[in-house]
Amino acid sequence: MKAIRIMAVLALAGCSAEAARPPAPSLQDGNFVSVLQPAGLGHSITRKGVVPVQGMTMAIYNTVDPLGYDDGKLAKDVAARACANRMLRFDPTVVGKYQAPNWVFEGACR
């Protein structure tokens, strides 16, 4: 009887370990590649001004045509889609940084 209880507890422990899978570190979306980094501290623009935000950092780059400084809106749209594909929420108020040829959104995915 004691052995059955131990096996039941071990079986439940195995189920919970399978449920918590980390999101994919990189995904391709057409010519765009999104790279998810584990943590980041970014900034968000709110009515109260600029406030710090914490979350996962998303970097976006294009494998065919490198992103330019003027591609921020495009990169932000790709980053939002990339977060959603990983079952995460993208914070559209996060300020992106251009680090040629990448656009980086620190703390944007949660």
Amino acid at 26: S
**Is residue 54 situated within a structural domain?**
yes
Which residue segment(s) compose the domain that 58 sits in?
23-109
Secondary-structure breakdown of the chain: helix, strand, coil percentages, each rounded to the nearest 5: 30, 40, 25
**Is residue 33 situated within a structural domain?**
yes
What is the reported pTM?
0.77
**Closest by alpha carbon to 79, among 26, 21, 22?**
26
pLDDT tens per residue across all 110 residues of the chain: 554 444 444 454 554 445 556 677 888 999 999 999 987 789 998 999 999 999 999 999 999 999 999 999 999 999 999 999 999 999 999 999 999 999 999 999 99
Both tokens of residue 89?
Answer: 């929420």
- Are the C-beta atoms of 29 and 72 separated by less than 8 Å? no
Question: How many domains, the chain?
Answer: 1
Rounded to whole angstroms, the Cα distance separating 58 from 90 reads: 9
**Is residue 34 situated within a structural domain?**
yes
Rounded to whole angstroms, the Cα distance separating 87 from 13 reads: 23
